[in-house]
Chains A and B, each alone.
Chain A
């Protein structure tokens, strides 16, 4: 099976070339993808943790008797 291609546009000549990626380039792209996915997973986990903490705090404030408007006012 052929490797993916890359599209290269030479800005001086305007010539557009279609070139098959080498095996090494394909391997590097896969390694880069794995690294980026790992980082994205860390960021998503951090975002989820922040959202969970916010929901937990709001639930505790509600349990103390604060209204939704009063809770919202705290963050303004």
Chain B
């Protein structure tokens, strides 16, 4: 059972925003990784996706998710060029609200396919807010050395969005 957690790196988006946030050259000295972010996009929507990729790869992602907004709930399956079962508030959501997302990646250096679990919510002090629980898989045996989140399309993560990467060791 993992019993230590160390902050590897963090970043706060500055003025002007950014389309992607990446953590590269991740050390292989941990057992698991935990990625956390609190972001908001400038896209003109209430809720937007967050795209998650590893090692710059654009293939072999799949996932199952269940999500709801307090009025209805849906489950679905995805298979895509990125893991996209993550959400964030957009420009049409309540001003100054940011989402909350966490992705746990066990055994990120193993030679097996990389599974991960995620929870993601689009904070919004209004009528519509969504929450997602998801299971993801990157069908690749390479060790994970970088992780990236991307704001879809021409959107950007706005200033004050934050991202953190933690390493977790078994000892």
With CB as the reference atom, state the residue of chain A lying closest to B74: A47
Contact residues on B (Cβ < 8 Å of other chain), bracket: 35 or more
Q: Quick check: is B170 within 8 A (CB to CB) of the other chain?
A: no
A7 within 8 A of B: yes
* Binary contact readout A6-38 vs B (1 if CB under 8 angstroms, 0 otherwise): 111111111010100100001011101111110
Residue among A6, A10, A34 making CB contact with B19, cutoff 8 Å? A6
Say yes or no: A10-B24 contact (C-beta < 8 A), given A30-B153, A30-B154: yes
Is A61's CB within 8 Å of the partner chain B? no
Chain A's interface: helix, strand, loop or mixed, by majority?
A: helix
Residues of A with C-beta under 8 A to B22: 6-9
B156 CB, min distance to chain A CBs, angstroms? 6
Residues of B in contact with A (beta carbons under 8 Å apart):
8-11, 13, 16-27, 49, 51, 58, 71-74, 76, 78, 80-82, 84, 150, 152-156, 165
